Structures are given as structure tokens and as C-alpha cells.
């Protein structure tokens, strides 16, 4: 069990600053996610934690002790790699046992750890198979089992579910979350999938080109993104971000007047507004705006429907419950609760409302 901290850590590869002056503390027993688009530095952060890379600047601490110059073996941090890296010539059982055999752990102890992990991950029936005879999902579980079997101070997982189909990914992430809670271990988890990060993390860090944009509980980040980048990365469908136009009476409008906001809704320096799809209401066309908006596309998702609306050349997404009675090309009005509107300055900073 361990707390892992980065203090102003930077790591470059030639011209590329993969990790740029990053600081955070992952607390003991926390399920902590790093989330960001490709090349944002997620894997490099894990490799730095693991000791596979040495920072150019800054300190890495485990339980308050600097480990920056300590190699991977002495850190006892376990990793599930993005490409899984199972040994093809070994059965699943031998793959899982390998980290313990390598460390010359007594056989009785290996058997006990194996039994625990196998039970937790429900993989007893596939232990005799080599990786080539396992499905993508089964390989993923075996790789996770191999990390869990060591009883390390922390587990690192690099996009461990990326190879799974959507359904198995949903199932496995629920199991992972339960597993982490049961085992009571620090788990540091990388994903490029915002929904996955939101659903598993106690706290998450959002990365932008090697920098940390925001750290917090998923719901807090969702409700109070610090900037436009975070706002548009977290939440699906993506937040509608629109140019703010000022009206002569002091009120504001967006999308050519299809959205109207009363005086004093927005701070003076707001140049853009953000509206989550679930906060947009599609109303009858005689809504007070008078501006023309029409239904551009309708995507039924069962319990919800995503309605894309076109207004003054801008596309807006509304997430509606059930199956609203709207059709493509219908004229509609848009309303929004002013309290649900996010405001951004011209440099992308979120403004207090």
C-alpha cells in the first residue's frame, strides 16, 4: 500500500516534452486515473513511476521517500502493459506465476496467491491454455492476474481494456473496480476513454500535451471543468461550445440567436459558452427566440436520443430522455437553464459564474 507523488516531473524525448512539469499525489488505496488523448504522456507517466524512465527534472516519491534514482525491481510497483506482453510459449497459469517464480517465492505461497487471483478474476477454466488460444478478453484478464499476483505496493495499468469489445470492457471495468475495492490497493490506471475514466476513478488527472490540466473526482471535473479543453474532453456527447454574442440590451445570445441568455447570466469577459447536451431543451418552434433552428439528425439510443440541431450554421447536440417526437428538418426552439451554462474566457479558462 503506497502513496505515489510526482513533484514537478519533466521528461523529454529529443524535441518532444512528453511529461511537462507534472505534480500530483496518488493517495494510498486510491483508484486514480490518467486520462488524455493519444500522445498526451499517459504511458510515459506510468513508465516514470515504474522506474523504466528517469525524469530530466523533478522528484518521484513512494510513501514520501524519493525513488527517482531507484530501479524498477526495488520499487515493487506492478504494471499491466498496453500490449499485455504475455509469454506466448507459456500457459496462462505459468504466465501468472512467472513474477513470483522469478522472485523465488516459495511454491506454497505461489499456489496460495494464484488461487486468490484466479478466484477473483474467474479464470480457473483457462489456466491450461497458452495466450494464442485465449480470446482478447481472456488474455486481458490473465495479464491483470499476473500483475495482481505479486502483491505490490501499487498496480499500474496502461489502458488494460483497450483491446476488448464495448460490452466486455464495461463488464471488466466493473470487476476491476470491485477488485480494487476488495484488494484495497493503490491502482493507477491509464485510459483514453473518458467514460471509462469517469466510471472507475476515485480521482482522475486530465492530461494535455504532457501537462496536467485538472485533478479531481470525476463528478467535480464534469461539473466544474477548469477550462474549455477539459470541458470538451469529459462528457459524451461532447459539451456544446458556442461563441457568445452580446446584444444591445446587455443580454447574450449564441448560435445566431437560437440561444438567448438574460442579462447577468455571463461574466463580462466570457467569449464562449458551454452547454452540456443534457442541459439543452428542444422546445416548440414558437419559443421566444424567433431564430430559426431545425433538427439536423436524430440518433435513438434506446433510453436516450441524441438530437443534433442546426442553427445559423452551428450544430448543437441535445441529449433527450426516451424517444422525443422530433424528425429531421422539424423547426424547433432551444431553451437552456442559465444556471447550467459554462463560461469561458478567450484563452479557454473557465470563468466563475
Chain positions contacting ligand ATP, by CB under 6 A: 13, 16, 18, 36, 38-44, 192
Q: For residue 43, state whether it binds Mg ion (rule: CB under 5 A).
A: yes
Nearer to ligand ATP, 15 or 182 (CB): 15
Nearer to Mg ion, 46 or 282 (CB): 46
Output the residue with the shortest Cβ distance to Mg ion. Answer: 43
| Shortest distance in whole angstroms from residue 33 CB to ligand ATP | 12
| Interface stretch with Mg ion, choices 6-14, 43-51, 286-294, 297-305 (CB under 5 A) | 43-51
Distance CA 26, CA 31 (A): 8
| Shortest distance in whole angstroms from residue 158 CB to ligand ATP | 7
| Shortest distance in whole angstroms from residue 19 CB to ligand ATP | 7
| Shortest distance in whole angstroms from residue 19 CB to Mg ion | 12
Q: Which does 13 bind (CB under 5 to 8 A by kind): ligand ATP, Mg ion, none?
A: ligand ATP
Nearer to ligand ATP, 11 or 342 (CB): 11
Spacing of C-alpha 10 from chain mean position: 22
Nearer to Mg ion, 8 or 83 (CB): 83
| Shortest distance in whole angstroms from residue 63 CB to ligand ATP | 25
Q: Which does 93 bind (CB under 5 to 8 A by kind): Mg ion, ligand ATP, none?
A: none
SS3 292: coil
Nearer to ligand ATP, 12 or 116 (CB): 12
Nearer to ligand ATP, 56 or 297 (CB): 56
Closest CA to 251 of 344, 338, 340, 350: 338
Positive or negative torsion for Cα 256, 260, 263, 265: negative
Angstrom CA distances, 216 to 95, 98, 178, 211, stand at 36, 36, 21, 15
Nearer to ligand ATP, 11 or 317 (CB): 11
| Interface stretch with Mg ion, choices 38-46, 166-174, 211-219, 321-329 (CB under 5 A) | 38-46
Q: Which does 152 bind (CB under 5 to 8 A by kind): ligand ATP, Mg ion, none?
A: none
Distance CA 311, CA 282 (A): 12
Kindly give the pairing relationship between strand 77-80 and strand 154-158. Answer: parallel
Q: Which does 16 bind (CB under 5 to 8 A by kind): ligand ATP, Mg ion, none?
A: ligand ATP
Closest CA to 323 of 346, 304, 342: 304
Nearer to ligand ATP, 41 or 274 (CB): 41
Residue 217 and residue 31 in contact, taking contact as beta carbons nearer than 8 Å: no
Closest CA to 213 of 22, 51, 49: 22
SS3 315: strand
Q: Which does 331 bind (CB under 5 to 8 A by kind): ligand ATP, Mg ion, none?
A: none
Distance CA 192, CA 209 (A): 13
Q: Where are the beta strands (DSSP E) in 27-102?
A: 31-35, 57-62, 65-66, 77-80
| Shortest distance in whole angstroms from residue 232 CB to ligand ATP | 17
Nearer to Mg ion, 43 or 180 (CB): 43
| Shortest distance in whole angstroms from residue 209 CB to ligand ATP | 9
Residue 33 and residue 190 in contact, taking contact as beta carbons nearer than 8 Å: yes
| Shortest distance in whole angstroms from residue 51 CB to ligand ATP | 15
First to last CA, the chain: 40
Helix (H) / strand (E) element for 171: namely helix 166-183
Angstrom CA distances, 134 to 98, 107, 128, 244, 302, stand at 18, 26, 10, 53, 33
DSSP-derived letter for residue 226 is S
Q: Which does 36 bind (CB under 5 to 8 A by kind): ligand ATP, Mg ion, none?
A: ligand ATP
Binding site for Mg ion (CB under 5 A): 43
Amino acid at each position: 500500500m503506497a502513496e505515489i507523488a510526482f513533484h514537478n516531473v519533466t521528461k523529454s524525448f529529443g524535441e518532444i516534452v512528453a511529461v511537462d512539469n507534472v505534480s500530483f499525489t496518488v493517495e494510498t488505496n486510491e483508484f486514480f486515473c490518467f486520462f488524455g488523448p493519444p500522445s498526451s504522456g499517459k504511458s510515459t507517466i506510468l513508465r516514470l513511476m515504474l522506474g523504466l524512465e528517469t525524469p530530466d527534472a523533478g522528484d518521484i516519491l513512494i510513501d514520501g521517500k524519493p525513488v527517482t534514482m531507484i530501479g524498477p525491481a526495488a520499487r515493487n510497483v506492478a504494471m499491466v502493459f498496453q500490449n499485455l506482453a504475455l509469454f506466448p510459449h507459456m500457459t496462462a497459469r505459468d504466465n501468472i506465476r512467472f513474477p513470483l517464480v522469478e522472485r523465488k517465492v516459495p511454491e506454497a505461497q505461489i499456489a496460495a496467491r494464484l488461487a486468490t487471483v484466479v478466484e477473483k478474476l474467474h479464470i480457473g477454466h483457462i489456466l491450461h491454455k497458452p495466450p494464442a488460444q485465449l480470446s482478447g478478453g481472456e488474455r486481458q484478464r490473465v495479464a491483470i492476474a499476473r500483475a495482481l499476483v505479486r502483491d505490490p505496493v501499487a498496480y499500474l495499468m496502461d489502458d488494460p481494456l483497450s483491446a476488448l469489445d464495448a460490452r466486455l470492457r464495461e463488464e471488466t471495468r466493473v470487476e476491476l473496480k470491485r477488485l480494487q475495492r476488495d484488494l484495497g490497493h493503490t491502482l493507477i490506471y491509464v485510459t483514453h476513454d473518458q467514460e471509462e475514466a469517469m466510471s472507475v476513478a476515485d480521482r482522475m488527472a486530465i492530461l494535455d500535451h504532457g501537462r496536467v490540466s485538472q485533478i479531481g473526482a470525476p463528478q467535480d471535473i464534469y461539473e466544474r471543468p477548469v477550462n474549455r479543453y477539459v470541458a470538451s474532453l469529459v462528457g459524451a456527447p461532447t459539451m456544446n461550445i458556442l461563441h457568445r454574442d452580446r446584444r444591445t440590451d446587455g443580454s447574450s445570445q449564441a448560435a445566431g440567436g437560437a440561444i438567448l441568455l438574460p442579462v447577468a447570466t455571463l461574466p463580462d469577459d466570457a467569449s464562449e459558452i458551454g452547454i452540456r447536451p443534457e442541459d439543452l431543451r428542444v422546445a416548440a418552434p414558437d419559443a421566444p427566440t424567433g431564430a430559426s433552428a431545425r433538427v439536423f439528425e436524430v440518433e435513438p439510443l434506446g433510453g436516450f436520443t441524441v438530437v443534433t440541431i442546426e442553427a445559423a450554421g452551428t450544430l448543437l447536440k441535445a441529449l433527450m430522455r426516451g424517444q422525443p417526437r422530433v424528425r429531421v428538418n422539424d423547426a424547433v426552439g432551444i431553451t437552456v437553464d442559465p444556471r447550467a451554462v459554462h463560461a469561458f474566457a478567450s484563452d479557454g479558462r473557465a470563468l466563475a459564474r
